[in-house]
Amino acid sequence: MNVRKLLLLSLVLLSAITLGIMAQGLYIPSANEPFYGTWMNEKISPPKTIHYPYGTFEDYKSLSDTTPFRNGKSTFVRKSTDSEGNVYYETNDRMSFGIVLHSIWKISDSGKVLEMVGRAAGIEQKDFPKEISQKDPHYFIYYRSNN
């Protein structure tokens, strides 16, 4: 196959993938989403998580670790902002060991607090959690690192 045909085929496949994602109604993160960055809380496990553009993330066993013990990819289903300026995401988080979580994330209007609740897809429930509650056994809270 010559280069021109290969380039055309690649372009067609990329367009089809993009249209497929848009047809599913997924949210495509922009270059400056508030979830990007390092989030920490030494009182929970994992105590450190780093979220990168376009949904990849790494989890660490301690605040000082530089090598993650697991990673994953979030697919963004929906993004919304409430009247107070808090940003919400509904995500499907695929962990490196295969489990998929339906999650709701809330980032405070200040951008310094990340709260989330998640459920194993198809095991604990089929849909997203309905709310973020500190009483939920799957509740996590992180604080943005200044690093």
The region that residue 69 occupies, defined by phi over 0 for left and psi between -120 and 50 for alpha, beta otherwise, is: alpha
What's the CA gap between 121 and 119, in Å, rounded?
A: 6
pLDDT tens-place values along the chain, 147 residues long = 565 655 444 544 444 444 444 446 799 999 899 999 999 999 999 999 999 998 999 999 999 999 999 999 999 999 999 999 999 999 999 999 988 989 999 999 999 999 999 888 876 555 667 789 999 888 999 999 986
38 — phi, psi (to 5°)?
A: -100, 130
pTM of the model: 0.79
